[in-house]
Each structure stands twice: as structure tokens, then as C-alpha cells.
């Protein structure tokens, strides 16, 4: 089964903020690699969303929340939190691994 991808406004803002951070603190090249890489990773959720573990925030919500781990190197730096609604993967937020749990 192939799912649609919908990025919530909050998640879009998170993605833009993280990309800005990469550009300002690393380089424009790394920011572009991060942006392209995380969107490529998100696209894999179209067919492979079930491979992602439940997020630690899952227990706080009435619906299932899963997380996709992403990083430019071997170690993940970000968590893409998402849920499935009908045939859509809904990207809720993107969090740095050092950030506190998402309140929703």
C-alpha cells in the first residue's frame, strides 16, 4: 500500500528552522544536504511507515505516534514524529533528539 504524505504547518516550520540552523552554524551545502536528505527519508514513509518504532510520546496521545530517525551521519540527530490517518502519513513535528518530548 502506498500512503500520501501530508506535512502539518508545525512540522514545516520545524523543518525550515532546522535548515536555517544548518546554514547559519555549518554551511549552506550541509543545510541543503540536510533538507534534501530529510525529505527523501520522509518519502520512504509512503511504503515503509510500519518499520518505524512507536515514539515515546505515543503513550500521551489517543492515536498512534511513530518516529523516523534521521541524521546526515551514522548517528540520528532528528526525530520525525508522524501518525497514520486513513491512507495518509501525517508529519506532526520534527524534533532534535536532544529536545524534550513533544506535547502535541
Q: Which three cell numbers stand for residue 53?
A: 518504532
Task: Give residue 104's pLDDT.
Answer: 84
pLDDT at 1: 81
In a domain, 101, yes or no: no
Q: What is the DSSP string of 13-66?
A: HHHHHHHHHHHHHT-HHHHHHHHHHHHHHHHTHHHHGGGSPBPGGGGGSSS--E
Which residues of the chain have a pLDDT value below 70?
A: none
For residue 11, the enclosing domain spans 4-96
Asked, for residue 11, whether it belongs to a domain, the answer is yes
Which CATH number characterizes residue 45's domain? 3.30.2310.20
d(CA 43, CA 50): 13
Q: How many domains does the chain have?
A: 1
Amino acid at each position: 500500500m502506498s500512503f500520501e504524505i501530508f506535512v502539518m504547518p508545525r512540522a514545516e516550520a520545524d523543518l525550515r528552522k532546522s535548515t536555517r540552523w544548518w546554514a547559519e552554524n555549518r554551511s549552506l551545502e550541509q543545510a541543503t544536504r540536510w533538507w534534501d536528505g530529510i525529505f527523501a527519508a520522509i518519502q520512504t514513509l509512503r511504503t515503509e511507515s510500519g518499520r518505524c518504532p512507536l515514539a515515546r510520546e505515543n503513550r500521551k496521545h489517543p492515536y498512534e505516534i511513530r518516529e523516523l530517525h534521521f541524521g546526515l551521519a551514522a548517528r540520528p540527530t532528528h526525530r520525525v514524529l508522524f501518525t497514520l490517518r486513513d491512507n495518509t502519513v501525517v508529519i506532526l513535528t520534527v524534533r532534535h533528539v536532544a529536545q524534550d518530548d513533544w506535547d502535541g
